[in-house]
Amino acid sequence: MADAVIVVALLLVAGCATVAVLVRDPVRQALVLAVLGVVLAVLFTAVQAPDVALSQLAVGGALTPLLLLLSVRKVKRRKEHDE
């Protein structure tokens, strides 16, 4: 059973990483990165690394996408202000 979970998680990681590279819209990219962070946390939990999974969930699943979204928002505001 554990092997099946690991295989599924690895396939999801590969799929999410591919989508993150192919998506060109920064907002959608940030959302895909959030999903990728959660899937990686599931993978780390499946391979019995719960401390790494918690770190990945916090940083890769929440903090990094949030910072990216805030940066994109600030750039868009500055661009609108300059025009």
Whether residue 1 has pLDDT greater than 80: no
Give per-residue pLDDT as tens, 55-64: 999 999 999 9
Q: Is 1 helix (H, G, I), strand (E, B) or coil?
A: coil
Give pLDDT tens digits for 29-83: 999 999 999 999 999 999 999 999 999 999 999 999 999 999 999 998 887 877 7
Q: What is the DSSP string of 4-67?
A: HHHHHHHHHHHHHHHHHHH---HHHHHHHHHHHHHHHHHHHHHTT-HHHHHHHHHIIIIIHHHH
pTM here? 0.87
Please check whether residue 17 is in contact with residue 36, taking contact to mean a CB–CB distance below 8 angstroms.
Answer: yes
